[in-house]
């Protein structure tokens, strides 16, 4: 206690403030359903939407050339390494479970053309899911996998 005020983790004002917030929240109920307007995609329009550039054939935003390297690295880290591992050896956290192939193997690399590899990334195969990524990012991932060969 600090004086006659109760202390909540060193903040004498915290308890009264918390009580005030709870009282204010309890006074208001949720809005009536008939007062809510129907949601539309336009409700979430922002100024960044105007900068997105041309849309791809399937509606996916096409990145600008300067964005592609960062997007490829982001896609690799967030989508590929959990199975294939950071160096593509199939030793990611899920690699053994899904039997992810070692992308550094010469025989695997030689067995796939760039077009076939891009199709595998887009459409998936066996336990690998399809990835709906813009074509420049897919091509960047193919190039990144090619750089892993023999490592």
Question: Residue 102 belongs to what domain range?
Answer: 68-147
Q: Is residue 48 part of a domain?
A: no
Q: Is residue 10 part of a domain?
A: no
CA distance 100 to 142: 16
Q: Is residue 83 part of a domain?
A: yes
CA 88 to chain centre: 19
- pTM of this structure: 0.58
| Domains of the chain: total | 1
Q: Is residue 105 part of a domain?
A: yes
Q: Tell me what pLDDT residue 151 has.
A: 79
Residue 11: strand pairing partners: 8
- Each residue of 55-83: pLDDT tens digit? 434 445 667 667 889 999 999 999 999 99
Which pair of structure tokens corresponds to residue 55?
Answer: 């849309």
Q: Is residue 106 part of a domain?
A: yes
Determine the 3-state secondary structure of 61 from DSSP.
strand
What's the CATH number where 89 sits? 1.10.760.10
How many residues are recorded in the chain?
151
Q: Is 97 exposed, middle or buried (0-12, 13-18, 19+ CB in 10 A)?
A: exposed
């Amino acid at each position: 206690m600090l004086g006659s005020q109760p202390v909540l983790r060193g903040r004498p004002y915290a308890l009264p403030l918390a009580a005030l917030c709870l009282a204010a929240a309890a006074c208001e109920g949720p809005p009536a359903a008939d007062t809510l307007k129907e949601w539309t995609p336009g409700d979430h329009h922002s100024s960044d939407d105007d900068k997105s550039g041309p849309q791809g054939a399937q509606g996916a935003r096409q990145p600008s050339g300067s964005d592609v390297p960062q997007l490829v690295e982001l896609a690799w880290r967030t989508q590929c390494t959990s199975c294939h591992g950071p160096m593509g050896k199939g030793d990611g956290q899920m690699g053994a479970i899904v039997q992810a192939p070692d992308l550094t193997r010469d025989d695997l690399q030689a067995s796939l053309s760039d077009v076939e590899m891009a199709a595998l990334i887009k459409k998936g195969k066996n336990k690998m899911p399809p990835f709906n990524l813009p074509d420049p990012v897919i091509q960047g991932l193919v190039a990144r996998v090619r750089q892993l060969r023999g490592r």
